[in-house]
Amino acid sequence: MPEPQWHTVATTAELPAGGRKLVSIEGKSIGLFNVHGEIVAVLDVCPHELAPVCRGRVSGTTLPSAPGEYCWGREGEILACPWHGWEFDLTTGRCLVDEKLRLRRYPVEVVGDEVRVAL
C-alpha cells in the first residue's frame, strides 16, 4: 500500500460550524463537513445506488421513541442521501438503516488555517 498523501483542499474559513464544501482530490469527489467543530471528509458516493451523497441534506433526525412521540436530536450530524433519503451518521460514517453500510471516510488534519485530507 502506498503511503496516503495529504492534500490541502480548504481553509478553515471555508468550513464554519455546520459548513460544507465539495472538493475534488485525485479525480474523486469528496465532501468536507464541519460537524460541531470537527471536520470530516467523506467520499461523495452513496453505498446504495452510488448517488452524489454529499449533496444531501445535513440535519438532525428523530431518535428512537415510543409510538406517537417524536424526539429530535443529533442536529448537524446526519447526512441524508439526495436520492432515496438514506441517513448517514457523519461522525462515524454509519448508515442509520443498514449497519453493514457506511460512507467512505478519509483522515483530516487542520494545520493552521489549512484543512488537509489524506488519500
**Measured CA angle at 89 (ends 79, 85), to 5 deg:** 40
Cell matching residue 6: 495529504
Which partner in another protein, ligand FES, none is near 46 (CB below 5 to 8 A by kind)? ligand FES
Which CB atom, from 50 or from 63, has the smaller least distance to another protein?
A: 50
Angle, vertex CA 48, rays to CA 96 and CA 98, nearest 5: 30
Site string for ligand FES, 48-87 (x = CB under 6 A): xx-x-x---------------------------x-xx-x-
Residue 42 engages ligand FES in binding (rule: CB under 6 A): no
Per CB under 8 A, the list member of 25, 51, 118, 119 interacting with another protein is: 51
Instruction: Count CA atoms within 13 Å of residue 29 on its CB side.
Output: 10
Q: How far is the CB of 3 from ligand FES (least distance, A)?
A: 31
Closest CA to 84 of 116, 39, 51, 119: 51
**Do 42 and 104 form a contact (C-beta atoms < 8 A)?**
yes
Q: Quick check: 47 binds another protein (CB under 8 A)?
A: no
Residues that bind ligand FES (CB under 6 A): 46, 48-49, 51, 53, 81, 83-84, 86
